[in-house]
Structure 1
Amino acid sequence: MGWNVSRWKALPDSLDDRVQQLVVQLRRLKDRSGLSLSSMASKTGYSRSSWERYLNGKALAPREAVEELARVSGAEPTRLLVLHELAQEAWRREEVTAEAAAAPTRGAGARRAAPIGVLTAVLLGALVVGLLVAAPWSGHGDSGKDTAATAHGVYAYKPGKTYPCAVERKNGQLYAGYSTTRTAVLGQPGWDVVEAQCLLRYSGFDPGGVDGVYGEMTRRAVKRLQEKAGLATDGLVGPQTWKVLRR
């Protein structure tokens, strides 16, 4: 694409993959626009120091900042905002985890409250275990190995190759057996796309061949589904569109 990001500092390994994806895209927008941090501050209303933190993964850029950067760089914001939604969810989880880890060190009052915190953690742990046990095909969604996809091996595009669709309802959700994701942002060929194509066909929206490639026919089918569901008709599959496909 001609975007040079090699001059950027490496992002911390501890940063969630979804946050890293958003930061990388923001860096690319900045590079493509040719704007300095000072220019970005004057054009977006967010300070130079704020953009330094956002672009180095030290703070999560607000949704409004992402929209402003897309505007000043002439980019279409929809995909960025889907990435931001996923990154925000991951960031909040990290904050909750950090607060829980710091709680026992906040003085005597915190120490007295520790038994309640421990009880809460145990209950939450039991809830998570219950959800994992109930998950279709024992898949772990986008945060771990998707056993539905693993059962089919590594995806490789083969011209003319299509896949059968056997959609079933499990625990109130529709699944075709190729992926259990409910948040993946589709773009690259793969099992997530095969899953979406099967669910589109099941819902009466023809995506063309079920081949795992997110082509124009699939995009048009997604737009028709989104229009019927009252979603933004951007042709992109993200968390909100997955909700409609799964129900």
Structure 2
Amino acid sequence: MAQWKELPPHIAGSERQLLGHLRRLKDHSGLSLAALAGRTGYSRSSWERYLNGKKPVPRRAVEELAQACDTEPTRLIALHEVAERNRTKAPERQTDPTRPPKSVPTQAREPEPEQEQPQGRTAGTPGRTVRLRGMLLALALAVVVSFGAGLLAARAWDDDTPAATTGGSAAGTGYLRGQTYTCEVHRKDGRLRAGHSDTREMLLDINSTGFDVVETQCLLRAKGFSPGVFDGLYDERTKKAVTEFQRSRHLVTDGIIGPDTWQELRG
């Protein structure tokens, strides 16, 4: 099974869930990206962009992937509709928050004095120059401040961002690979929670990463099947703990976290 790239941090939870399902479906089918391109109307490079979160996956591509993998597409289409609806409601933001912002000019060219001459004052007088320079500097400052505020809002916008981290990462920031997270499991609304993710449907398997995996690792420890690590990386130790937990609950012992396993973990 090919190792997937980590999804960009700006991708929202609904779209992240859709891509997780599509990746899992593709892997379980045994099809390579080239083979998938041969069975659908989309090229290998298009599938690479779609499944790695570089470009939103079209609804037609979702349907064709399900058909190529002999899977009923109804649930995938429903997830796609939710992701698309949330995407259109999201505020305009930078495609990649990690990319440095484009440079903003700090000084604009002053127009020739002859372009606009106030009545009673000749072009090129000191009063005219001072007013133009002040207006241009104020405009440039407003552009810089507005751009900075928009960038901060884009980085902060993520309806799936958890609240509990350690090791110097402030609450509300994105998942950091290689960092160990705390596990403070408690019961809320009748379900166990560790404070990293509220999902009950996300599919997780080997090489999955993120706060959904941290939540799984914490809940496994609370159930007596600790994987020994709480870093958000679904490795062999985590999969072994999941398999043992599934066996104890008489679930399908495939080591894959799905809705049934989530229900038992949060119960």
For normalisation by structure 1, the TM-score amounts to 0.49
Greater helix fraction, Structure 1 or Structure 2: 1
RCO higher in 1 or 2 (8 Å CA, sep ≥ 6)? 2
Which of the two has higher C-alpha Rg?
2
For normalisation by structure 2, the TM-score amounts to 0.45
